Structure 1
Amino acid sequence: MKFLFIAPRFHNNQYYWVKSLTDHNHEVRFWVWRKEPLENYSALTPSLIPRSSFGLPKILSCYREMKALDPDIVVVRDPRSFLFVFVSMLIARMQKRKVFIYSQTPLYQTMSWVKKITVRLMLRFFGSLWITPIIGDMRYPKFHPRAFYVPFAIEPQAQEKSPVRRPIRIISVGKIYQERKNHLLLLEAFYDSLKKSDIRLTIIGALSGNSPEYFNKMRVYIKKYDLEQTVEIKTNLEHNEVLREYAKHDLFVLPSSNEPLAYSPLEAMGAGLPVICSDTNGFRWYVKDGENGYIFKSEDVSDLKDKVSLAIPRLQEMSKNSLNSVKQFYTPKSFYEKFMEAVQSV
């Protein structure tokens, strides 16, 4: 089959989706509005959507290119948020193609009547079905009968991690210029441990040249509290370099708040790391609290400290659980089976 993905950019969380489809001999193309540094194009190189001098998509060019590609299914990233995606979806429907709408919204949830009507209208007039990588709270109904859960995927490491040795190495991966990643909260939570215990912290993330303010605040904090010997910050690493870093660490912590669904925690689990994230991060639905990680109350330094204290004595046990979770639910094979289940439904 031929698949065309349309999104603002090629996020690395799409890498194994694309690779899995191409490994099964499907043809995949990816249209993006922009390209960013550090994106992993080893499975596929995305194409920029033609745009006018006014910054709008060239509708006729998009129409012709889509017609030439002749995809069986067009997968669009939430058209409620991006005008160019909505335009692309209209073109796909004009050409009578099947459209999958992809968003990071929980499959099982309660929705306001306004959102319900919006979803129903979009699926009725434009989309064949809706896919999401967030399962949500199964005490509630699916937000639409034609909505499907399709998980993010990662290739798990072949072997279990070796026994934990001192110093304990903790890693956090997230854009350093975004305040919602809460790196300062992380430093505050680990201040006592970093000063008194045998613990090391590594923070990895992209750093925008135009947005160094938050990064500078982190550097000031580290210097003020004399943490230079216990905290290391690594910026703008290539994706494969980041993947290698997980294997050098024992525990992953991402304190971000109000994040639809972070991908770096799944990469960490694939390397056998227990994961700690907040209760306002969509990744909480991938964490079995107390088994492969912990969920802490968002923005609560004290609760984050408590969860780290609970995890450290159980790192070896929880490491095995993390790896087993990935092998059971989040491999490229898991993605492919769920995705093709959705495809076959139409």
Structure 2
Amino acid sequence: MKILFVAPRFHTNQVEIIKILLKKKHEVFFHVATIGKTEDHSLVKPVCYKQSKLSRFIEKKFDKGQANKRFYFPGSGSYWRAMRQLQPQIVVIRDPYKLFSLLAAFFALLTKAKIIFYTQEDLLRPRSWKLRLKQQLTIKFFRAAWITPIKSTNSPGNKGWPRYMYHVPLPVSITPDDACRKDISTEGPRILMIGKYHQERKKHMLFLQALGNLKKKYRFKATMAGECANEEQQTRFMTIKAAAQDLELNDQVDLKQNVPFTQMADLYASHDIFVLPAINEPYSISVSEAMGYGLPVICTDTCGTRFNIYNGVNGFVIKSNSVEELTTSLEALLSNYNNLYQMRLQTLQYAGENLSGDAFYSTFAQVIRERFSITMN
């Protein structure tokens, strides 16, 4: 089956999707608005078509030179020819209300491809009647399915969701079971946090404060890894580094910059606990990736991935901006190695059952079957 993805860029959270689709002998193509310098294109090479003159005009007038390409779309003539030549059977489109997404959806409809819209929103979240109607009409007009990787269990005020909207997990790499059976280092458990340094909402400082509260009671090593590619990020990085020095954490905290995607597996595998104290995080693939390596996760109650965490089983969900709850949750893991060991095994088991490539493919194929009456090989 020929499957085309249309998205702003080739995000790392798509890698495992591409892997499992290729493993199942499907042809995969990727159209993007921009190509990042650190992306891994070993599985599929994204194509970025020449931006149209109208798109450049809109971008210049309304985007004020920003680099996020939210107003990007290619020339309609050249893109129509490309779509008609490719003739995809399924087109998966990120964020359906972007100009590029709408153009791709119209052309996919004309080529009679099956359309799947993809967003990162809580399937069970409360929706106004206007939003619900908007989404339902979009699905109906394009005869589409709509998928999201987020499905919480406690969304207040939920009155259902639009028809043909489904929960489909974002898959991650699952480490072999033996990796979770390693002994804790004599230096203590290793704690990992990943987050772009310039984003205050990632709460690097909160993490340091919690570590500072525990440094005299427990042995541990911590790693903070994040992007540091521009002046704003470098300035913030130096502020965080200074805070670690002030808290006398230099011997316990290692600050890493711009870790290549190809080295992320080793980073996860060399740690025992994953922490993401970020607030208002729509969907953090790093949480799922960490679970795929058997790392119990501590995240906040405003993290979109929190529905995968069961308190005391495979991690803890803490109150946002609470250094007290973060400290307590870390202490529960640092103070009892047997408990940490069991939680690692339980985390890996959950990830294998719910976040693996096979779990994604089974659910994705079911959506295709239910919505379009097509059986994937």
TM-score normalised by structure 1 residue count = 0.95
Q: Does 1:216 align with 2:232?
A: no
1:151 aligns with: 169
> Are the counterparts in 2 of residues 193 and 199 from structure 1 also a CA contact under 8 Å?
no
Post-superposition offset of 1:52: 2.6
Change (3 A) 1:142 1:230: same
Amino acid of the structure 2 residue aligned with 1:75: V
> Are the counterparts in 1 of residues 241 and 255 from structure 2 also a CA contact under 8 Å?
no
Counterparts in 2 of 1:1-346, with a 5 A limit?
A: 1-53=1-53, 54=56, 56-57=72-73, 58-80=75-97, 82-137=98-153, 140=158, 142-158=160-176, 159=178, 160-166=180-186, 167-212=188-233, 213-312=235-334, 313=336, 314-345=339-370, 346=372
* Separation (CA, whole Å) in 2 of partners of 1:295 and 1:282: 11
Identity between Structure 1 and Structure 2 (%): 33
> Are the counterparts in 2 of residues 161 and 272 from structure 1 also a CA contact under 8 Å?
no
* Separation (CA, whole Å) in 1 of partners of 2:342 and 2:23: 33
Indicate the larger mover: 239-248 or 221-230. Answer: 221-230
Indicate the larger mover: 207-216 or 310-319. Answer: 207-216
Amino acid of the structure 2 residue aligned with 1:154: V
- What's the secondary structure of 1:48's corresponding residue? coil
Q: What number of residue pairs does the alignment pair up?
A: 345
> What residue ranges of structure 2 are gaps of 5+ in the alignment?
60-71, 373-377
Indicate the larger mover: 44-53 or 270-279. Answer: 44-53
Post-superposition offset of 1:196: 4.7
Post-superposition offset of 1:67: 0.8
Post-superposition offset of 1:268: 1.1
Change (3 A) 1:9 1:150: same
* Separation (CA, whole Å) in 2 of partners of 1:141 and 1:86: 28
* Separation (CA, whole Å) in 1 of partners of 2:215 and 2:203: 17
Post-superposition offset of 1:120: 0.9
> Are the counterparts in 2 of residues 38 and 237 from structure 1 also a CA contact under 8 Å?
no
Deviation track 1:95-146 (CA, whole Å, cap 9, x = no partner) reads 3322100001122232111210111111111251101111222674541220
Deviation track 1:147-175 (CA, whole Å, cap 9, x = no partner) reads 11110112211123313233221001122
Amino acid of the structure 2 residue aligned with 1:303: E
Deviation track 1:66-99 (CA, whole Å, cap 9, x = no partner) reads 111100111100123x222122222222333221
* Separation (CA, whole Å) in 2 of partners of 1:161 and 1:254: 23
> Are the counterparts in 1 of residues 214 and 331 from structure 2 also a CA contact under 8 Å?
no
> Are the counterparts in 2 of residues 255 and 278 from structure 1 also a CA contact under 8 Å?
yes
Amino acid of the structure 2 residue aligned with 1:149: H
Amino acid of the structure 2 residue aligned with 1:181: K
* Separation (CA, whole Å) in 2 of partners of 1:19 and 1:304: 35
> Are the counterparts in 2 of residues 100 and 127 from structure 1 also a CA contact under 8 Å?
no
* Separation (CA, whole Å) in 1 of partners of 2:369 and 2:208: 47
Amino acid of the structure 2 residue aligned with 1:339: F
